[in-house]
């Protein structure tokens, strides 16, 4: 899912964003896409304290009759410098090794029916099921009806309910690396020292026949 460093620098520079800018990301899909964008910025070295997601996204903003505009922002191209934090991405080889070593726990953001292999995958060419020894926490369990995150106390309860070891490093997976970022952001709300770490290939890579 991740682009290369030079492409990311060009994308962000063309938006006029600087390295020391405070960034608020929002979308129209109940925070799913904005969480992935949040992760991308952190992966490419933006200060994690300066990157945020609008809780509830644009839908909630509009529903509450908050200010919107049809005007386009005037963009002055910047010279954004990115630095990859490669430790925040886990690859398939590391996932396979960990099945035996059990150095970290993998939590899958897909729904339980997909995780348990009870229904076929929506992408062609993928087998059903999940990574051995992984845990399931559907990302939707962490989101309220209005698109906001549930309370921190409830987030902790949800993670504890998976029976994973919260003292271990946590790696998040899903279908394609997007909703895994929802789990990563949610976990960062209850552990401010946690840096989001994703198996970026996720089941779209691991589940190939």
Domain at 167, CATH number: 3.40.250.10
Q: Assess whether 34 and 107 both reside in one domain.
A: no
**pLDDT digit string (tens) for 152-178?**
999 999 999 999 999 999 999 999 999
Q: Assess whether 99 and 194 both reside in one domain.
A: yes
User: What is the predicted pLDDT for the residue at 10?
Assistant: 98
User: What is the predicted pLDDT for the residue at 170?
Assistant: 97
Distance from chain centroid for Cα 119 = 24
Q: Are 138 and 112 within 8 A, CB to CB?
A: yes
Name residue, tokens 């949610």. 186
Q: What is residue 73's DSSP assignment?
A: P
Q: Assess whether 40 and 110 both reside in one domain.
A: no
Locate the DSSP E strands across the chain: 23-25, 51-53, 89-90, 104-108, 135-136, 169-173, 198-199
Of 38, 57, 22, nearest to 182 by C-alpha is 38
Rounded to 10°, the helix 179-190/32-43 angle is 70
* Residue 197 to residue 178: CA distance in whole angstroms: 12
Q: Are 163 and 149 within 8 A, CB to CB?
A: no
State how many domains the chain has: 2
Q: Of the ranges 18-32, 99-113, 185-199, which one carries the lowest mean pLDDT score?
A: 18-32
Question: Which residues participate in catalysis according to the annotation?
Answer: 174
Q: What is the mean pLDDT of residues 55-74?
A: 94
Task: State pTM to two decimals.
Answer: 0.95
139 part of a folded domain: yes
79 part of a folded domain: no
Q: The domain containing residue 147 runs over which residues? A: 86-206
Between the two ends of the chain, the Cα-to-Cα distance in Å is: 20
**pLDDT digit string (tens) for 66-85?**
999 999 999 999 999 999 99
**pLDDT digit string (tens) for 20-50?**
999 999 998 777 899 999 999 999 999 999 9
pLDDT confidence of 1, banded at 50, 70, 90? Answer: confident
The mean predicted confidence, pLDDT, of the chain is 96
């Amino acid at each position: 899912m991740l682009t290369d460093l030079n492409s990311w620098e060009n994308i962000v520079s063309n938006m006029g964003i600087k390295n020391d800018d405070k960034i608020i990301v929002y979308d129209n899909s109940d925070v799913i896409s904005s969480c992935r964008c949040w992760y991308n910025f952190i992966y490419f070295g933006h200060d994690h304290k300066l990157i945020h997601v609008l809780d509830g996204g644009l839908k909630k903003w509009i529903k509450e009759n908050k200010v919107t505009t049809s005007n386009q922002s005037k963009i002055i191209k910047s010279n954004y410098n990115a630095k990859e934090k490669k430790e925040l991405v886990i690859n398939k080889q590391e996932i396979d090794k960990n099945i035996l070593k059990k150095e970290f726990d993998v939590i899958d953001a897909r729904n339980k029916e997909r995780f348990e292999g009870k229904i076929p995958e929506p992408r062609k060419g993928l087998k059903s099921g999940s990574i051995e020894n992984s845990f399931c926490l559907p990302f939707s369990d962490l989101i309220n009806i209005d698109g906001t995150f549930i309370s921190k106390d409830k987030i902790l309860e949800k993670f504890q309910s998976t029976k994973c070891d919260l003292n271990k490093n946590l790696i998040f997976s899903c279908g394609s690396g997007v909703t895994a970022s929802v789990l990563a952001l949610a976990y960062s709300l209850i552990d401010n020292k946690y840096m989001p770490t994703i198996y970026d290939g996720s089941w779209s890579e691991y589940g190939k026949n």
